[in-house]
Structure 1
Amino acid sequence: MLYVVATPIGNLGDISQRALEVLRNADVVASEDTRYTGRLLKHFGISRPQISFHEHNERQAAEKIIALLREGRTVALVSDAGTPGISDPGFVLVRRCIDEGLPLTMIPGPAAFVMALVLSGLPTHAFIFRGFPPRKPTMRRRFLAVDAQSPHTLIFYESPHRVAALIADAIAVYGDRRAALANDLTKMFERVDRGRLSALLAQVQSRTPKGEYVLVIEGAARAEGGPPEEEDEASQVTSSASAARSDLRDA
Structure 2
Amino acid sequence: MSGRLILAGTPIGNSDDASLRLRDLLEHAPIIAAEDTRRLYALAQRLNIVVNGKVVSFHEHNENDKADELLDAVESGQDVLVVTDAGMPSVSDPGYRVVSRAIERNLTVTAAPGPSAVLTALALSGLPTDRFTFEGFPPRKPGELQRALAALRTERRTMVFFESTHRIAATLEAMAHELGAHRRAAVCRELTKTYEQVLRGTLEELSSHAATEQLRGEIAIVVAGDTGSAEISVDTLVAEVLERVQQGERLKTVVAEVAQSAQYSKRELYAAALAAKSGVEQR
User: Structure 2-normalised TM-score?
Assistant: 0.78
- Tell me which of 190, 197, 215 is aligned to 1:191: 197
C-alpha deviation, 1:12, in angstroms? 0.4
Distance in 2 (CA, whole Å) between partners of 1:87 and 1:141 is: 21
C-alpha deviation, 1:172, in angstroms? 1.5
Distance in 2 (CA, whole Å) between partners of 1:211 and 1:192 is: 12
Corresponding residue of 1:110: 115
Corresponding residue of 1:46: 50
Aligned length: 231
Distance in 2 (CA, whole Å) between partners of 1:173 and 1:205 is: 17
After superposition, the C-alpha distances for 1:55-81 in whole angstroms (9 at most, x for unaligned) are 111111112101111111111100000
Whether contact under 8 Å (1:6, 1:83) holds in the other structure is yes
C-alpha deviation, 1:146, in angstroms? 2.1
Whether contact under 8 Å (1:120, 1:216) holds in the other structure is yes
Query: Is the aligned partner of 1:9 residue 2:12?
Result: yes
Where 1:104 maps in the other structure, the secondary structure is: strand
Distance in 2 (CA, whole Å) between partners of 1:145 and 1:202 is: 21
User: Structure 1-normalised TM-score?
Assistant: 0.88
Query: Is the aligned partner of 1:219 residue 2:225?
Result: yes
Distance in 1 (CA, whole Å) between partners of 2:197 and 2:148 is: 26
C-alpha deviation, 1:209, in angstroms? 2.2
C-alpha deviation, 1:222, in angstroms? 7.1
Partner letter of residue 7 of structure 2? V
After superposition, the C-alpha distances for 1:108-131 in whole angstroms (9 at most, x for unaligned) are 111111111111111111111101
Unaligned runs of 5+ in 2: 230-255, 269-283
Q: Measured at CA, do residues 102 and 151 of structure 1 come closer, stay the same or move farther in structure 2, by a change above 3 Å?
A: same
Corresponding residue of 2:36: 33
- Tell me which of 165, 170, 177 is aligned to 1:160: 165
Structure with higher RCO (Cα < 8 A, 6+ apart): 1
Partner letter of residue 149 of structure 2? L
Distance in 1 (CA, whole Å) between partners of 2:192 and 2:163 is: 17
Whether contact under 8 Å (1:3, 1:22) holds in the other structure is no
C-alpha deviation, 1:19, in angstroms? 1.1
Distance in 1 (CA, whole Å) between partners of 2:191 and 2:267 is: 22
Corresponding residue of 2:106: 101
After superposition, the C-alpha distances for 1:180-239 in whole angstroms (9 at most, x for unaligned) are 00000000000000001111112112222211211111111079xxx93358559xxxxx
User: Rg larger in 1 or in 2?
Assistant: 2
Q: Measured at CA, do residues 195 and 47 of structure 1 come closer, stay the same or move farther in structure 2, by a change above 3 Å?
A: same
Instruction: Give the 5 Å matches for 1:106-145.
Output: 106-145=111-150
Corresponding residue of 2:275: none
Where 1:124 maps in the other structure, the secondary structure is: coil
The percentage of counterpart residues that share the same residue type is 39
- Tell me which of 186, 208, 211 is aligned to 1:205: 211
Distance in 1 (CA, whole Å) between partners of 2:214 and 2:133 is: 28
Partner letter of residue 47 of structure 1? V
Partner letter of residue 30 of structure 2? D
Whether contact under 8 Å (2:176, 2:207) holds in the other structure is no
